[in-house]
Amino acid sequence: MGNKNKTISFRVSQEKFETLREIAEERDLSLSAVFRDYVDLLVAHDGQVEVVPEHEITESTDTSDGTSFPPKVEVPKSFVREHERLELEAEHLREQLEEHKRYVTKLRQELDAHEDGEEVIQLEDLDGEEEEDDEPSYRIGSSFDESL
C-alpha cells in the first residue's frame, strides 16, 4: 500500500502558540518542523518522550537503554536549504494558483457580461460555416508553382 503522510491538527492557546513560534524561530525552523520533530521523537521512543525545560537538562542524561536524552540528530545544511527552497517554491506556486483563479474568475465575469448584451461566436460554429462559404480557402506553407 505505501507510506502516506497524514495530517494531525489540534488547538493550543494563543499564548502557547506564540511560545512555540518563538522556539521555532530561535532554532531557525518552521513551526510545522517543530511539530514533526516532536511527533517523530514520540514515535521513535514509543511514547516515552519527556518535555523538559532546557535549563534542567544535563548534557549526558542517559536512558535505560544507554542512549542520551534528548536524542541529537545532525541534519546536513544542504537538506535544510533544500527544504527551505521547496517551501518557497510551494508558496510561489500557491500564489500563482491564486492569481490564475482570479484571472479565470475575471474572464468568467466578462463572459457573463457579454452574454447579456453581445453575441459570442464560438470557434466550433465557424468551422461549419467555412465549407458553405464561396470564398477561397488559404493554406499556410511553401508556395507551389503549377507551371513546372
Q: What is the pLDDT of residues 85-95, one digit of tens each?
A: 999 999 999 99
At residue 105, the pLDDT reads 94
pLDDT at 133: 54
Residue with cell 511553401: 142
Beta bridge partners of 62: 68
> Mind listing the pLDDT tens digit for each residue in 98-131?
999 999 999 898 888 776 665 667 777 777 655 5
Cell numbers found for residue 44 = 521513535
pLDDT value at position 2?
63
CA gap 36, 92 in Å, rounded: 23
Rounded to whole angstroms, the Cα distance separating 41 from 50 reads: 10
Domain boundaries, the chain: 12-73, 74-118
pTM of the model: 0.33
Strand-pair partners of 61: 69
pLDDT > 60? residue 137: yes
pLDDT per residue as tens digits for the range 5-34 = 777 777 888 888 888 888 888 888 888 888
Q: How far is it, in rounded angstroms, from Cα 81 to Cα 99?
A: 27
Q: How many CB atoms lie within 10 A of CB 20?
A: 15
Task: Specify which residues 69 forms β-bridges with.
Answer: 61
**Is pLDDT at 66 greater than 70 in this prediction?**
no
The answer to whether residues 121 and 111 touch, using CB atoms and an 8 Å cutoff, is no
